[in-house]
Amino acid sequence: MNDSSRPPVQRPVGRPLGGWRLRLYTIIFEADTPAGRLFDLTLVWMILASVAVVMLDRFEAIHLRWGPVLGALEWFFTIVFTIEYVARLACVVHPSRYARSFFGVIDVLAILPTWAALFVPGLHALVDVRLLRLLRLFRILKLAEYVYEFGALGRALLLSRRKILVFLSFVLIVVIVMGSLMYVVEGPENGFHNIPVSIYWAISTMTTVGFGDITPKTGLGRFIASVMMLVGWGTLAVPTGIVSAEFTALRMAPGMPTTRTCHACLTEGHEPGATFCKHCGARLPPLETGIDRAGADRR
């Protein structure tokens, strides 16, 4: 198939074709260059530092002594993150699509609490949500093995969703039945005031948490509680086995995706020998030597 017959490439976010936007895009979104890696690592450390500032400000003694300094630092970080968010919108072809993406929403949540605190002071504590931006660490450092395992976890959970749903349905039936039975056996006089409270006791007992705020007093009730504890031991291992089986099946599958990023749609996880993006059809950049190459060679 020649280039004229190839369907037009979809550009959900879009890599600029040239100029200052392309240079800015390369620094912000790509970690293959020294400038891009320096930008990404600096961003991660600033996120950690900004969260540390907010946490330290929660200590009354530190706040009384260093409150103005910590407040100034928090505004410094917020202004930097605001500039960084605006730069991200400015260097992509479709800024509205990036703003609606997962990381775009996280970027907004990272700066919104501080600005909103000007009008509602209680929202200032929500600044800790910017810890979610550390999810970029998987893409920034280009650790192919960790990115692959992170994606494998999501795929294993997705493939085992029906089995997990059936398991949770079974657990729900058990706790409802046993909680109702315990309500009949113990009754309100022993702390089991109604069926929802009894179901709460059944859940805390079956999960082997055992808060102890509600305990059976009769012999039959203690026997039922003992059965619930033993059943809990057996059921807790079931989800682990389900997900582990899917992990094993995924690891047996041939081909380990790399961290190459499509310049058109910014998706990752392409096979080492891939030439075009499996999502939008755009031509992929060549497989870089170093971390990505090492990850591919270790298949």
pLDDT in tens, 147-166: 556 667 777 778 888 888 88
pLDDT of 298 over the 50 cut:
no
- Measured in degrees and rounded to the nearest 5, phi and psi for residue 60 equal -60, -45
Residues of the chain with pLDDT > 90, as a percent, come to 19
Using only C-alpha atoms, the chain has a radius of gyration, in whole angstroms, of 26
The pLDDT score that the predictor gives to residue 62 is 92
Average pLDDT, integer, range 257-267: 66
What is the token pair recorded at 183? Answer: 């309500």
Statement: residue 263 has pLDDT above 80: no
Q: What is the pLDDT of residue 34?
A: 83
Position 286 pLDDT exceeds 80: no
Average pLDDT over residues 214-227: 91
pLDDT at 142: 42
Q: Identify the pLDDT of residue 7.
A: 38
More confidently predicted of 77 and 106: 77
Mean pLDDT on 207-233: 88
Least confident of 43-52, 63-72, 119-128: 119-128
pLDDT tens across 22-64, in order? 888 888 887 667 888 888 888 888 888 888 888 888 788 998 9
Q: From the centroid of its chain, how far is CA 83?
A: 24
Band of the pLDDT at 80, cuts 50, 70, 90?
very high
What pLDDT, on a 0 to 100 scale, did the predictor assign at position 141? 45
> Do the Cβ atoms of 296 and 142 come closer than 8 Å?
no
The answer to whether the beta carbons of residues 104 and 98 sit under 8 Å apart is: yes
Give the residue-averaged pLDDT of 79-107: 88
Q: Which of 45-59, 90-104, 120-134 shows the lowest per-residue confidence on average (mean pLDDT)?
A: 120-134
pLDDT band at 93 (very low <50, low <70, confident <90, very high): confident
DSSP-derived secondary structure letter, 283: B
User: Which residue has 């030439």 as its token pair?
Assistant: 275
Rounded Cα–Cα distance for residues 78 and 75 (Å)? 5
Of the candidates 46, 57, 29, 54, the residue with the CA atom closest to the CA atom of residue 82: 46
Residue 288 has pLDDT above 80, yes or no: no
The helix (run of H) or strand (run of E) holding residue 83 is helix 60-91
N- to C-terminal Cα separation, the chain: 31
Nearest to 236 by CA among 282, 199, 203: 203
Lowest mean pLDDT, pick from 20-24, 55-59, 223-227, 262-266: 262-266
The mean pLDDT value for 8-28 works out to 71
